[in-house]
Structure 1
Amino acid sequence: MEFKDYYQVLGVEKTATTEEIKKAYRKLARQYHPDVSKESEAEQRMQEINEAKAVLTDPEKRLAYDQLGERYRSGQDFQPPPDWDAGFEFSGGGFEEADLGEFSDFFANLFGRGGRAGRGSRGYQMRGEDRHAKIVIDLEDAYHGATRAITLQVPRVDAQGRVLSREHTLNVRIPKGVKAGQHIRLAGQGGLGMGGGPAGDLFLEIHFTPDPRYRVEGRDVHQRVPVTPWEAALGASIETPTPLGVVKVKVPAGSQSGRQLRLKGRGIPGPEPGDLYVELEVVLPPADTDRARELYETMARELAFDPRRRRGG
């Protein structure tokens, strides 16, 4: 998939106002609409033009797209980075699959229902619109609960029609046991109501900060723990840090790299808490001294061990 530069598609500057974008769209639509154009690629060109307009005339989508676009150029190989749209508020319910029509995979990946940035306005009501944002927290916060100051980017349009960003900071209570993908509802923190109607709600979708130490599946947590060769061969009781704090783990004798030890109930808390799976990783000490090399040479002579030879062969 390639990155699409929607400003380039419409032939406008990144500082263009909403009215300038609409004007450029109307000009190109008159040129490439399949009903009037005889060009062979008119239909594909019109699709790109429609996509560009859909993004750049929507302040919420444009703000998030602009930040993403700072790192890419048109035609570059592209996959949306994890949580690329975290920290932005979006309103409405998002594009259904049928709404995407002939739009490209690039558009669908960013602005379909699967992406938070796909949440588009559904019109005004007496009650304010619900708003949505993705936030990223540490795994430890899900174990213990926490209160965090969360700053969101909210778009606004100035008098000249330019999209600007303002920061909206909230103190959010992260409940103990929250899972990735779960929503925290902040009542009355969404869009303002009309005619004195109540404000909508703000829904925060939880994601965990990427951490090479952990892999999370629902409430289960997988963690790699290094052990020495003698701990794996002879067995040992070791201490290791986990999201729950330091715990003691019994390493059975004869363990190999990749062996998983299940610590029941030590995963993310909840009515049915998850488990913590410790995956052992045997780490060899370096042979960087004469004494260390001597010990390895002694092992090579006396153990006569060949891991490539089949057992019993």
Structure 2
Amino acid sequence: MDFKNYYKVLGLEPGADDKAVKAAYRKLARKYHPDVSKETDAENKFKEVADAYEVLKSAEKRAEYDELRQYAEQGRPFEPPPGWQQPGHAGFSAGGRADSEYSEFFESLFGGTGRFQDAGHNRARRGQDVEMELALRLEETLAEASKTISFQLPQYSPDGQPLPALKKTLTVKIPPGVGNGERIRLKNQGAPGLGGAAHGDLYLIIRLVAHPLFDVEGRNLILTVPLAPWEAALGGHITVPTLNGKISLRIPANTQSGQRLRIKGKGLLNKTGEPGDLYALFKIVIPPQAEEPVRALWAQLAEHAAFNPRALWSL
């Protein structure tokens, strides 16, 4: 069976919003309506446009269709994947059209005993999708992590009445390189379906926990590194932390406060496993409450250095 690109049918790009989908459908429906159109094969084109709109106007159906579209765009012959059930009897109608008028492609995905049913007729219905946040430490994104999660699922009786929530615990594997706000889909781990239909899906929304030392900029990390004035002036080697251990860092002489030093490959991973970088952000700090001998040395330094940090000001 050939895969039908419903976006192309409506003359849209995959990112089109609901308003654009509705406007495109109305325009083409007027163009191909069999009662008024003089276009060649208008009736079949009208049905195809209606099929496309039926899918793309629904967020749930559109999400499932987009999943199949990505599969088809990989160049594989289209077949409804496991979990899609073939049509067996009338499912839902749109615009007064009987199910027999739907295309074979539409029927294979959404018709009859498929995943999308008319809930108002007490038929089998796919379970609800469920979302939950999952907190991860930055360190946990560097390698595959196993996390045990507990959550509750809504469930209903066959006649649609709410039942006590179903408690569930899972151990899930989180792939390396996940980012803040990313959604991970766990298929069929959502709410139970009605009438023997499939469960919904569980979506984990990743939330990266703020780190006490590192700030995040994309896949790069920023570490504020305090330096004593003599360390900044003379340079040398210091030990700094990273997400996977300590390293020795050479401080250049005459380092200025606010200057950055790049440490390659010590940031967060991306999806391909390539690491970002760590940037050391230097901050010069003064020892607190200096004793009189120390203050005397500062005074000698000020006299011998004869340095005015505001010399460039034009006041």
Short-chain TM bin:
0.5 to 0.7
2:298 alignment partner AA: Y
Checking the alignment, whether the CA contact within 8 Å between 2:144 and 2:173 is kept in structure 1 is: yes
2:287 is paired with a residue whose SS is coil
1:189 alignment partner AA: Q
What does 1:121-270 correspond to in 2, within 5 Å?
Answer: 126-152=125-151, 168-270=168-270
Structure ranking higher on relative contact order (CA contacts 8 Å, 6+ apart): 1
Post-superposition CA distance 1:238-265 (Å, at most 9, x none): 2111212212222221111111111222
- 2:312 matched residue in structure 1: 310
Quick one: structure 1 residues 201 and 310, their matched pair in 2 at CA, closer, same or farther if it must change by over 3 Å? same
- 1:278 matched residue in structure 2: 280
**Deviating 4+ runs (over 6 angstroms):** 161-167
1:134 alignment partner AA: E
Checking the alignment, whether the CA contact within 8 Å between 2:130 and 2:153 is kept in structure 1 is: no
Quick one: structure 1 residues 285 and 129, their matched pair in 2 at CA, closer, same or farther if it must change by over 3 Å? same
1:285 alignment partner AA: P
1:274 alignment partner AA: G
- 1:52 matched residue in structure 2: none
Identity %: 39
CA deviation after TM superposition for structure 1 residue 186, in Å: 2.0
With normalisation by structure 1, the TM-score equals: 0.53
What does 1:6-17 correspond to in 2, within 5 Å?
Answer: none
What does 1:109-124 correspond to in 2, within 5 Å?
Answer: none
Quick one: structure 1 residues 234 and 127, their matched pair in 2 at CA, closer, same or farther if it must change by over 3 Å? same
1:186 alignment partner AA: L
CA deviation after TM superposition for structure 1 residue 153, in Å: 6.0
Post-superposition CA distance 1:139-161 (Å, at most 9, x none): 1111233222334466789xxx9
Alignment root-mean-square deviation, CA: 3.3
- 1:109 matched residue in structure 2: none
With normalisation by structure 2, the TM-score equals: 0.52
Matches of 2:311 and 2:141, distance apart in 1: 46
1:144 is paired with a residue whose SS is coil
Checking the alignment, whether the CA contact within 8 Å between 2:155 and 2:192 is kept in structure 1 is: no
Post-superposition CA distance 1:179-212 (Å, at most 9, x none): 1122222232111122222212211111111234
Post-superposition CA distance 1:125-152 (Å, at most 9, x none): 6332222112221111112332223344
Quick one: structure 1 residues 239 and 202, their matched pair in 2 at CA, closer, same or farther if it must change by over 3 Å? same
Matches of 2:126 and 2:154, distance apart in 1: 20
2:267 alignment partner AA: G
Query: How many pairs does the alignment contain?
Result: 191
Matches of 1:288 and 1:123, distance apart in 2: 78
